[in-house]
Structure 1
Amino acid sequence: MVLKVLVVDDSSFFRRRVSEIINGDPRLQVIDCAVNGKDAVEKAAKLKPDVITMDIEMPVMDGITAVREIMQSNPTPILMFSSLTHDGAQATLDALDAGALDFLPKKFEDIARNRDEAVALLQQRVNEIARKRAFMRRPAPAARPTTTAPTPTASRAPVRPMTSRASSAPAAPAARPVSSSARFKASGKRYQLVAIGTSTGGPVALQKVLSGLPANFPMPIVLIQHMPSTFTAAFAQRLNGLCKITVKEAQDGDPLQPGTAYLAPGGMQMMIDGRPGAARVKIIDGGDRMNYKPCVDVTFGSAAKVYNDKVLSMVLTGMGADGRDGARLLKQQGSTVWAQDEESCVVYGMPQAVAKAGISTEDLPLDRITERIFVELNLV
C-alpha cells in the first residue's frame, strides 16, 4: 500500500524539493501540499494523509499551532523541519510537545554527507513514522489503576510537559509483554550508574521516564539522545525544568554525581572515565567515521569498562541499531539491560535490535519504566 503524504511549507521551492524526494520512493506519494498551518489543518481533515511533513515558521498559522490542532482533531504522524539554531531547537521541542513524532533539519546538508544519503534518510523517516498512523487514531483506553511511582507535582520552570499520542494506545503485543497489572520484583543487584540511550521519539520518552524520579535519586544518570549539537543544550534545560533531578548538558570533566542526569552533547561523543565513586565525563570529538554523534554504543561501552556489573541500562525508542553492541558489552560484564517494548515506541528499531539479539532481560512499556526503576532500586 502506498502511503499518502501531505507536505506543508510556505516556500514553494522547499515544497517542490521535499515532494520530489518523497515521490522518489515507490512506497510514498505526495497527495497535496499546504502553504501554511491553517491550510494544513483543513487538508489534514479532508485528505486523511498517512504522514504530514511540517515547517515551523509560516504565515497565517505557525507549524506548532497546526500540529496541536491536527493532533486534537485528526491525529496523524508528523515530521517537523526546523533550523539548527537555538530558537529552532526550542520551537522543535515545542512541536514535539504538541504531538509531532520526529524532526529533521531543514538544510539537508546538515543531516547527511551527500544528497543520496539525505534523500534516503528523509524517505526512511517518513516510512517509519507512518507505521504509527492507525495506532494513533484508535481511541485511548480507559485509565487503569496501577501501583506506579509518584509523579512530580511541581516543576522548577513553567514548561509544558511533553506528551506523546503515539504511546497512549496499545498496538501489536511485544515479544515479552508486561501487563499493566504485573507486579515487578527487584533482582537484588546493586547499581552505581543508570544509562539510557534513545533516538526517534526519545525526547518525549526521556521526559516521561525522568520526570518521575525523586530529587534524591541515589546515583548518576547518563543520557544519549541522537540530536544535533544546537539542540542538546535546549533539551537539557527543558528537562531540568520538568524534572526533580538535575539535568544538564554534559561537559568534559563533569564528576558523576547522584541525582544528576548528564545529556551527551550533540556532535560529540560522551565517555566515562575513572573508577566507580570517582568517575567523570569525558567528551571527545564525534569523529567522521561514526554514524551517530553522540553514539549510544560509545557511552555504554565505556560504562561497561568503568562500572562492570553495576550499570542499569535502557535502550528506548529509536531508529537503527545503535546501543546493541554497547548493551552487549554491558551484559557481558554482568550489568542489566532493559528495552522499551514495541507498542510504546515511536520507532521500534534500537530496542528491537537489543531484544532480538537476546541482550535485554525485560521489554517494558514506556509508562511503566519509572515504576520498574523504583522497584529495582528499592526506592518504594
Structure 2
Amino acid sequence: MTIKVLVVDDSGFFRRRLTEILSSDHDFEVVGTASNGREAVEKAVELRPDVITMDYEMPVMDGITAVKQIMQRSPTPVLMFSSLTHEGARVTLDALEAGAVDYLPKNFEDISRNPERLKKMLCDKVRAVSHTNKRALSRPAPVTPVASKPVTTRVAAKAEVPLTPREVARPPVTRPLTTEPSSPVTKSKPKAKNYKLVAIGTSTGGPVALQKVLTSLPGNFPAPIVLIQHMPAAFTKAFADRLDKLCQIDVKEAEDGDMLRPGLALLAPGGKQMMIDPRGQVRILPGDERLNYKPSVDVTFGSAAKVFNDKVLAVVLTGMGADGREGARMLKAAGSQVWAQDEASCVIYGMPMAVVKADLADAIYSLDEVGPNIIEACL
C-alpha cells in the first residue's frame, strides 16, 4: 500500500527536494506540501496523510505548535527535521513531547554531497514512522511535576576486570527463539526483590515514555537506574538535563567511571556504548562499528547480567527493531526479571514485541503501569 506523505517546510528548495526523493520510491506518494504550520494543520485534516515531515522554524505558525494542533485535530505520525545542535536537541525534544514520533537531522550539505545515502535514510525513516500506533499519538503528553531532590549517598563495590562490548553482545546458547509466546503473560502483581539495578531500553517513542516512567519515581528510589535510548550524541546531554529538571530522582548523561547509586539514573551517551563493571561503575566505550546501535540496549543489558546476575529488573519500552532481545535473553538466563511495554501503548511495537515473541517477558504492562509497578517491585 502506498504511503501518503505531507511535506512541510518554509524552504521551497527543501520541499521540492524532499518531494523528488520520496516520489522516486514507489512506496510513497507526496499528497501535498505546506510552507507554514497553519497550512500544515489545515492540510493534515483535509488530506489525511499517513506521515507528515515537519520543519520547526516557519512563519505564521512554528512546527511544535503545528504538531500540537495536528495531534488534537487529526493525529498523524510526524517526522521532525532538526539540527544536530544543543538548541536543535531542545527543539526536537519539545516536538517529541508535543506528539512527533521521530526526527532526522536537517543538513543541506548532505542533500548535494551524498544523495543516495540521504534517500535511503529518509525513505527508511518515513516507512518506519508510517507503522506508528495512532492510538498512542492521541494521548496527552505526560504530566511533568517538578519536586525537590533528596540528598543521596554513593555506594561502594569491589573491583574486577570489565568486559568488552562484543562479549556482552554475543548471545548465549539458551532458550530457543520462538515465533509466539509459549503462554500469555498476565498483568499480575510485580515480583518484589532486592534489585541491584533497574535497566530500561527504548528507541522510537522513548523520550516521552521515559519521561512518563521516571517522573513517577520518588526521590528516595532505592535502586540505581541505567537508561539506553537510541539518540544522537548531540541530543543525550540535553535529554538527560531535561529529565533531571522534571524528575524527583537525579538524571545525568553517563560519563566513564560514574558510580551506580540509588536514586540516580544514568543515560547512555549517544554514539557510544555503556557497560557496567563489577565495581558498580559504568564504562563508556567508543561505538563499535560492527554494532548497529550506539548505544545498544543489548550491550548494557548483557553487562548487567554478568555483574548482577538475578538482581536486575529490565524494562523494554517502545521502539523499532529488536535491540534488547539478546540482552534480555542473557538477563533471563541469569535469573533476572524482564518486562515489556504492551502493544496498545507503544508508539512503535518493535523492541517489546521482539522480547515477547522470544518468550522472554515476565510481565507486559501498559506505559501507565510501568512506573507504579517498578516502584512496587523495588520499594
Quickly name the TM-score band, shorter chain normalised.
0.7 to 0.9
In structure 2, runs of 5+ residues without a counterpart are 150-180
Q: In 2, Cα distance between the equivalents of 1:64 and 1:86?
A: 17
3-state SS in 1 of match to 2:31 = strand
Tell me, yes or no, if structure 1 residue 192 matches structure 2 residue 196: yes
Question: Given the superposition, is the C-alpha separation of residues 134 and 201 from structure 1 closer, same or farther in structure 2, using an over 3 Å criterion?
Answer: closer
Q: In 1, Cα distance between the equivalents of 2:117 and 2:184?
A: 35
**AA paired with 1:315?**
V
Tell me, yes or no, if structure 1 residue 106 matches structure 2 residue 106: yes
Q: Which residue of 2 aligns with 1:217?
A: 221
Q: Which residue of 1 aligns with 2:212?
A: 208
**AA paired with 1:57?**
E
Q: Which residue of 1 aligns with 2:271?
A: 267
| Residues 105-124 of structure 1 mapped to structure 2, 5 A cutoff | 105-107=105-107, 116=116, 118-124=118-124
Which 10-residue stretch deviates more, 52-61 or 79-88?
Answer: 52-61
3-state SS in 1 of match to 2:260 = coil
Q: Which residue of 2 aligns with 1:329?
A: 330
**Aligned-residue offset at 1:20:** 2.6
Q: Count residues with an aligned counterpart.
A: 344
Q: Is the 8 A contact 1:109 1:115 kept in 2?
A: no
Q: CA RMSD in A?
A: 2.6
Question: Given the superposition, is the C-alpha separation of residues 283 and 136 from structure 1 closer, same or farther in structure 2, using an over 3 Å criterion?
Answer: closer
Q: Which residue of 1 aligns with 2:363?
A: 362
Q: Which residue of 2 aligns with 1:87?
A: 87
Q: Which residue of 2 aligns with 1:39?
A: 39
Q: In 2, Cα distance between the equivalents of 1:329 and 1:287?
A: 20
Q: In 2, Cα distance between the equivalents of 1:51 and 1:73?
A: 15
**Aligned-residue offset at 1:114:** 6.7
| Residues 147-296 of structure 1 mapped to structure 2, 5 A cutoff | 153-155=145-147, 176=184, 184-275=188-279, 279-296=280-297
**Aligned-residue offset at 1:89:** 0.2
**AA paired with 1:355?**
V
**Aligned-residue offset at 1:156:** 5.8
**AA paired with 2:308?**
Y
3-state SS in 2 of match to 1:360 = coil
CA offsets, 1:143-182, max 9 Å, x none? xxxxxxxx8754469xxxxxxxxxxxxxxxx99475xxx6
The higher-RCO structure (CA 8 Å, 6+ apart) is 2
Tell me, yes or no, if structure 1 residue 319 matches structure 2 residue 337: no
In structure 1, runs of 5+ residues without a counterpart are 142-150, 158-173
Q: In 2, Cα distance between the equivalents of 1:312 and 1:241?
A: 25
CA offsets, 1:16-73, max 9 Å, x none? 2222332233332110111121221221122121211101112222111111122222
Q: In 1, Cα distance between the equivalents of 2:134 and 2:190?
A: 36
Which 10-residue stretch deviates more, 86-95 or 40-49?
Answer: 40-49
Matched residues, percent identical? 61
Q: TM-score, normalised by structure 2?
A: 0.84
Q: Is the 8 A contact 2:320 2:348 kept in 1?
A: yes
**AA paired with 2:352?**
P
Question: Given the superposition, is the C-alpha separation of residues 61 and 365 from structure 1 closer, same or farther in structure 2, using an over 3 Å criterion?
Answer: same
Q: In 1, Cα distance between the equivalents of 2:89 and 2:317?
A: 21
3-state SS in 2 of match to 1:270 = strand
3-state SS in 2 of match to 1:288 = coil
Question: Given the superposition, is the C-alpha separation of residues 136 and 207 from structure 1 closer, same or farther in structure 2, using an over 3 Å criterion?
Answer: closer
CA offsets, 1:326-358, max 9 Å, x none? 111111111111111111111111111111111
Question: Given the superposition, is the C-alpha separation of residues 268 and 365 from structure 1 closer, same or farther in structure 2, using an over 3 Å criterion?
Answer: same
Q: In 2, Cα distance between the equivalents of 1:333 and 1:233?
A: 32
Q: Is the 8 A contact 2:75 2:134 kept in 1?
A: no
Q: Is the 8 A contact 2:201 2:228 kept in 1?
A: yes
3-state SS in 2 of match to 1:32 = strand
Q: In 1, Cα distance between the equivalents of 2:273 and 2:307?
A: 16
Which 10-residue stretch deviates more, 73-82 or 204-213?
Answer: 73-82
Question: Given the superposition, is the C-alpha separation of residues 303 and 123 from structure 1 closer, same or farther in structure 2, using an over 3 Å criterion?
Answer: same
